[in-house]
Structure 1
Amino acid sequence: MFTGIVHSAVKVDKIEKKSGLWTLSLTLPESLISGLSIGASIALNGTCLTVTSITQCQVTFDVMLASLNLTNLQYLDVGTRVNVERAAKFGDDIGGHQLSGHVHGLVKVVEIERPENNCIVWFELTDTHKPYIFDKGYIGLNGCSLTIAQVKEDRFCVYLIPETLNVTTYQDVKVGDAINLEIDSHTQAVVETVERLLKQKNLA
């Protein structure tokens, strides 16, 4: 489980590309290495991956074809920065909201507004995701727990505070970028339960 509170944005050191499998190597800050072991879960851009090796501060992850096809990890190059979060431990503060690290799909950035002391990022809103996205709802975007500020017919936005911009890759975000989206699990459960009950009632 993750909380959507990104610990750091880290550059990719190396990518080994095999058929249907990529191996990513990153040098993590010492603060993220303490207590880390092979087999542990870490989210990169909100995608839950398993640590496969640790050499001092360099850590590797295998990314299988299904994850590459579904997430923006497929667009990574050496030097690209990714948001990094270690899995939450029992007793940790949950400053964001519960995330599984299972990305539901990609959404594109369609507009960025920068009024004084603010950054507002607008994302496309597809029919697939529309039932789960509403004002003041939670959303996971590139592994960051964010609150939806406004929803329009074909787009939605979030406001980013300076701390989020400083710690995450959102300081580099551009219009057209593909962002990993994870729907809030509680929202998904409620929406799909209601839809199923309404469908059963209509069929009765």
Structure 2
Amino acid sequence: MFTGIVQATCEVVSINNATGLKTFEIAMTPELTQGLVTGASVANNGVCLTATKILNDKVFFDVMEETLAVTNLGNTNVGDRINIERSLTFGSEIGGHILSGHVHTLATVKAVSNTDEHYNIELQVNPQWMNYIFYKGFVGINGCSLTVGKLTDNGFMLHLIPETLKLTNLDDCTVGSRINIEIDSQTQVIVDTVERILANKQLA
């Protein structure tokens, strides 16, 4: 499990293709690799991946075809920056919200507005996921816990502060970029439960 508080953006050093998967080599800092062991879970752009090898602060992750197909890791290239978060440990401060590292869908960047006063990103998502996205609610964006801004017909706005831009790769976003989205699990449970109860009442 994760908190959505990105610890660093790390460079993709190499991507090796194999049958049914790709192996990503990520250059991390000594602080991030301290205590990290093979088999540990690490969020890469919000995707929970297993560390398969650790070598001189380079960490290797095998990414299966399904994950490549449903997340933006499938479009990742050598030299790209990846948002990294180590898994949650008991006793740690939770500054974001609980994330599982299981991406629900991809959003497309529809617009970016960067002025002296603000940095806004407008995202477009499949309409079926808008049932779980609420103004001022939580959502995981490339593994970063963020608050939903204004809702649009088929998406929502993000209003980013300089600190978020400094610590994540969201300032790399351009129109057309694909972003990993993890909706809040508690919100999904509540919405699905209410919809099921209402549907049952209509059938009764």
TM-score normalised according to structure 2 size: 0.98
Residue of structure 1 in register with 2:174 after alignment: 174
Paired with 2:17 and 2:73, the residues of 1 have a C-alpha distance of 12
Q: Which residue of 1 aligns with 2:87?
A: 87
Q: How much has 1:158 moved relative to structure 2?
A: 1.0
Q: Which runs of 5+ in 2 are unaligned?
A: none
Give 1:148's aligned residue.
148
- Output aligned runs, 1:19-58, within 5 Å: 19-58=19-58
Is residue 125–residue 153 contact of structure 1 (8 Å, CA) maintained in 2? no
Query: C-alpha distance in 1, partners of 2:29/2:171?
Result: 19
Which residue number in structure 1 is paired with residue 192 of structure 2?
192
Inter-CA distance 77–125: structure 2 relative to 1 (3 Å threshold): closer
Q: Conserved in 1, the CA contact under 8 Å of 2:130 and 2:155?
A: no
How big is each residue's C-alpha offset from its partner over 1:126-161, in whole Å with a ceiling of 9 and x where there is no partner? 211110011001000100000001102122011111
- In the TM superposition, residue 125 of structure 1 has moved relative to its aligned partner by 3.3
Contact 1:12 1:26 in 2 (8 A): yes
What letter corresponds to residue 181 of structure 1 in structure 2? I
Contact 2:106–2:180, Cα closer than 8 Å, also in 1: yes
| Contact kept? 2:104, 2:183, Cα under 8 Å | yes
CA–CA distance in structure 2, aligned partners of residues 117 and 50 of structure 1:
40
Output the amino acid matched with 2:170: Y
**Over the residues paired in the alignment, what is the CA RMSD in angstroms?**
0.9
Structure 1 gap ranges (5+): none
Residue-pair matches, total: 204
Answer yes or no: is the 8 Å Cα contact 2:12–2:80 preserved in 1: yes
Q: Aligned partners of 2:200, 2:49: CA distance in 1, in Å?
A: 38
CA deviations on 1:54-76 (whole Å, 9 max, x unpaired) are 11201100101111111000001
**8 Å contact kept, 1:15–1:24:** yes
Equivalences for residues 13-24 of structure 1 within 5 A: 13-24=13-24
SS in 2 for 1:128: helix
Alignment-derived partner of residue 60 in structure 1: 60
TM-score relative to the length of structure 1? 0.98
CA contact (8 A) 1:44 1:82 kept: yes
1:13–1:79: 8 Å Cα contact kept in structure 2?
A: yes
Distance of 1:14 and 1:115 partners within structure 2: 35
CA distance in 1, matches of 2:24, 2:125: 30
Deviation at 1:117, TM superposition (A): 3.8
Query: What is the DSSP-based 3-state SS (H/G/I as helix, E as strand, rest coil) of the residue aligned with 1:165?
Result: helix
The whole-number CA distance in structure 1 between the counterparts of 2:154 and 2:187 is 20
- Structure-2 separation of matches of 1:132 and 1:115: 30
Equivalent residues of 1:118, 1:162 under 8 A apart? no
